[in-house]
Structure 1
Amino acid sequence: MAAPYSDDLRQKAVSAVERGEKKSHVCRTLNISRNTLDIWLKRKKQTGTVAAKTNYRRGPKPQIDDLEAFQKFAEQYGHLTQEKMAQKWANPVSRMRIGQALKRIGFTRKKKLMATEKERKKPEKSFSKKSEVMPRKDLSILMKLE
């Protein structure tokens, strides 16, 4: 989403309309839409200011609000999978919500143990057999000679 217009621009537009200038002229001059100007005028009438809204939450409210209680829960049941933790949580939540809450409190997922590169067995290479390998004959040269 784009950044909100500056408070200075908002104030200039509203004060120009209050001075008696036409809304369409103000909109063309400041390169804003008519709807935007109408919203600013409405906000000025309702709240007394044209400043952009701040400190509002986007999206749905989180299902796990109390992160301190969830952290204690995670420390107690951290050995379980996220799906089993979701079943044990007091309110019905999904496995995905448990994962998001774990991420917010700084917990990481369990990771499968894998052999590192050094621990894997590498096939043994024998360089002593290299001298025994016969050189490949080029068949195209043999055919031309015949």
Structure 2
Amino acid sequence: MPKIYSEDLRRKVMEFYRKSGHKSNTCTTFNIARTTLDDWILLEQQTGQLAQPKLVNVGRPSTIKDLASFKVFVENTKFSQAKDLVPLFKNQFGYAVSYDVILATLHKLGWTHKKRVSSTGRPVK
């Protein structure tokens, strides 16, 4: 995970770099990596500011948006395992979620795992 530096520190580093004109000296003075300074220089050239750009969420959503309609969907859909719901969910709601999200939401709604009892052949103590 990259370290997030404050915008104030970024400004101080860039001012020092402009005065000295020496990247290595700037990095050792402020104890930052050379690539970090290069990234800040590039960021300032492209955007004109040093603020941390907002990260865009990518990938599947981490939650189900409409819990009430999901509950109706689960009650009206025949399935034997929760993994069967993953493709059916995408067809019904138009966006995909992971198997873990479906399991967590089922648990939130009060659905439990099916417990299978298997005999071991040993007498009960």
> Common fold, TM-score beyond 0.5?
yes
Q: Which amino acid aligns with 2:98?
A: R
Q: Which amino acid aligns with 2:5?
A: Y
Compared with structure 1, are the counterparts of its residues 87 and 19 closer, same or farther at alpha carbon in structure 2 (3 Å cutoff)? Answer: closer
Shift in Å, 1:62: 0.5
Q: Which residue of 2 aligns with 1:49?
A: 49
Over the aligned positions, Cα root-mean-square deviation in angstroms equals: 3.5
Contact 1:64 1:101 in 2 (8 A): no
Contact 1:27 1:34 in 2 (8 A): yes
Q: Which amino acid aligns with 2:52?
A: A
Q: Which amino acid aligns with 1:67?
A: K
Runs of 4 or more consecutive aligned structure 1 residues displaced over 3 Å after TM superposition:
63-66, 78-81, 104-109
Q: Which residue of 2 aligns with 1:74?
A: 71
- For residues 15 and 104 of structure 1, the distance between their equivalents in structure 2, rounded to whole angstroms, comes to 50
Q: Which residue of 2 aligns with 1:134?
A: none
Contact 1:40 1:50 in 2 (8 A): yes
Shift in Å, 1:8: 1.5
* Higher RCO by CA contacts (8 Å cutoff, separation 6 or greater): 2
Contact 1:82 1:99 in 2 (8 A): no
1:97 aligned onto 2:84: no
- For residues 73 and 43 of structure 2, the distance between their equivalents in structure 1, rounded to whole angstroms, comes to 49
Unaligned runs of 5+ in 1: 114-122, 124-146
- For residues 64 and 71 of structure 1, the distance between their equivalents in structure 2, rounded to whole angstroms, comes to 17
Between the aligned residues of both structures, percent identity stands at 23
TM-score, normalization by structure 1:
0.56
* SS of residue paired to 1:43: helix
- For residues 77 and 20 of structure 1, the distance between their equivalents in structure 2, rounded to whole angstroms, comes to 65
- For residues 27 and 65 of structure 1, the distance between their equivalents in structure 2, rounded to whole angstroms, comes to 41
Shift in Å, 1:16: 1.5
> What count of residue pairs does the alignment treat as equivalent?
112
